């Protein structure tokens, strides 16, 4: 139950998190983003919503004390600890097209959407059902004109964030595959599930 599980670089994992359980997501080497999506375990039509979360939390920077809300305006998870404190909830998971459109990359490139899709498919969740992810450790900056820039994460080795499930969830996490989001190198992500604070 309390074993630490490693998500190897440029991969992902999906699992069930029951109401009241604590999910710890950590950055073992530092400077690595993890995209996270949440679904109601009993009804996949209910899923994490960036729009609802930013609206109800009245912030575009969510951290300790904030809730992640569903498209049906219900609380899905509470952020109970966040040692780094910088996450993004604006940008969609990187996909094959991200690299084509933004970086003129040709051919196959691993991506968060691909890894979310592969790992959620066994649960019966399709690619088009995947919403904007909560991008743990992602460092998106913006100026007064709204111009966005993606900078390397500020997370250091050992930084972690903890979520308390507010309902039974299917969770999918990735170790992000976008060069710019991760300071140019790809690292693993780790997580563990527990019943209390660690």
Binding interface with Zn ion (CB under 5 A):
94, 112, 176, 178
Q: Minimal distance in Å, beta carbon 69 to Zn ion?
A: 22
Between residues 47 and 167, which has the closer beta carbon with respect to Zn ion?
47
Residue 93 DSSP class:
P
Between residues 133 and 170, which has the closer beta carbon with respect to Zn ion?
133
Return the bridge partners of 189, or none.
7
Tokens of 156: 């250091």
Between residues 111 and 166, which has the closer beta carbon with respect to Zn ion?
111
Between residues 26 and 40, which has the closer beta carbon with respect to Zn ion?
26
3-state SS class at 71: coil
How far, in Å, are 41, 139, 159, 173, 175 from residue 156 at the CA level?
Answer: 32, 13, 6, 19, 15
Q: Minimal distance in Å, beta carbon 168 to Zn ion?
A: 26
Residue 99, sorted as left (phi over 0), alpha (psi -120 to 50) or beta, turns out to be: alpha
Q: Minimal distance in Å, beta carbon 90 to Zn ion?
A: 13
Q: Minimal distance in Å, beta carbon 35 to Zn ion?
A: 5
């Amino acid at each position: 139950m309390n074993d630490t599980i490693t998500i190897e670089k440029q991969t992902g994992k999906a699992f069930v998190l029951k109401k009241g359980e604590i999910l710890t997501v950590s950055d073992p080497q530092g400077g690595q983003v993890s995209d996270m999506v949440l679904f109601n375990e009993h009804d996949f039509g209910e899923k994490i919503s960036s729009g609802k979360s930013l609206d109800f939390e009245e912030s575009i920077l969510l951290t300790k004390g904030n809730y992640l809300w569903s498209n049906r305006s219900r609380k899905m998870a509470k952020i109970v600890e966040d040692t780094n404190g910088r996450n993004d909830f604006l940008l969609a998971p990187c996909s094959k097209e991200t690299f084509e459109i933004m970086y003129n990359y040709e051919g196959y490139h691993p991506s968060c959407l691909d890894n979310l899709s592969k790992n959620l498919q066994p649960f019966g969740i399709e690619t088009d059902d995947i919403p904007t992810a909560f991008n743990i450790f992602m460092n998106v900056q913006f100026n007064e004109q709204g111009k966005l820039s993606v900078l390397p994460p500020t997370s250091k080795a050992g930084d972690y964030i903890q979520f308390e499930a507010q309902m039974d969830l299917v969770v999918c996490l990735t170790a992000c595959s976008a060069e710019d989001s991760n300071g140019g190198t790809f690292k693993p992500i780790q997580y563990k599930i527990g019943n209390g604070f660690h």
